């Protein structure tokens, strides 16, 4: 019963996600430029990762570079610009990918290695030292004390 309810909630969640954000339900998807995908948006929402995964292997192992799907190609149309007209990186919550992925709380790790902006453009320096969350924080002064305090507390108070 509980499982069924979770399933129903998930169904509602994803169908809501497919709706336009104009009614306040679902993510606010940034406007893209260029021609729409001939497959339709529903297809792209469901399969974009499979398409990228498929073609990345073709490129990596067989050297086929003019593939149907590539991240670089995504950003030719799906680029959000800031007030100064500069494309924002994934560090900015307005980034195209983050619109849905933040909403669905799914962290993408594509951009640990790949650039999140169009090619041949220098990402501005303020974006350089960020990248989401404590995972990317370097060990700093005072961190040892915080960790020790946490550990001693955890050990003295079971659960």
Return residues touching another protein (CB under 8 A): 38-39, 43, 47, 50-51, 53-54, 56-57, 60-69, 72, 89, 91, 112-115, 119-120, 122-123, 127-129, 131, 136
* Closer CB to another protein, 64 or 151, in the complex: 64
- What is the Cα–Cα distance from 97 to 76, expressed in whole angstroms? 13
CA geometry: angle 56, 81, 132, nearest 5 deg: 60
* Closer CB to another protein, 136 or 150, in the complex: 136
Question: Shortest distance, CB of residue 116 to another protein, whole angstroms?
Answer: 9
Question: Shortest distance, CB of residue 76 to another protein, whole angstroms?
Answer: 11
Convert 21-41 into a string of H (helix), E (strand) and C (coil).
HHHCCCCCCCCCCCCCCCCCH
Residue 113's nearest CA partner among 58, 60, 45 is 60
Question: Shortest distance, CB of residue 119 to another protein, whole angstroms?
Answer: 4
Helix (H, G, I), strand (E, B) or coil at 87: strand
Question: Shortest distance, CB of residue 112 to another protein, whole angstroms?
Answer: 4
């Amino acid at each position: 019963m509980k499982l069924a309810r979770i399933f129903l909630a998930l169904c509602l969640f994803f169908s809501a996600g497919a709706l336009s954000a104009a009614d306040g339900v679902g993510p606010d998807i940034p406007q893209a430029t260029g021609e729409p995908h001939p497959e339709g948006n529903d297809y792209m929402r469901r399969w974009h990762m499979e398409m990228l995964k498929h073609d990345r292997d073709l490129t990596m192992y067989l050297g086929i570079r003019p593939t149907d799907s590539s991240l670089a190609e995504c950003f030719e149309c799906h680029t959000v610009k800031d007030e100064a007209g500069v494309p924002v990186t994934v560090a900015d919550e307005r980034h195209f990918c983050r619109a849905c992925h933040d909403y669905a709380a799914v962290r993408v790790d594509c951009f640990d290695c790949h650039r999140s902006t169009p090619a041949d453009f220098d990402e501005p320096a303020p974006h350089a030292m960020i990248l989401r969350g404590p995972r990317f924080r370097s060990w700093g002064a005072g961190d040892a004390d915080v960790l020790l305090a946490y550990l001693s507390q955890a050990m003295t108070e079971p659960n």
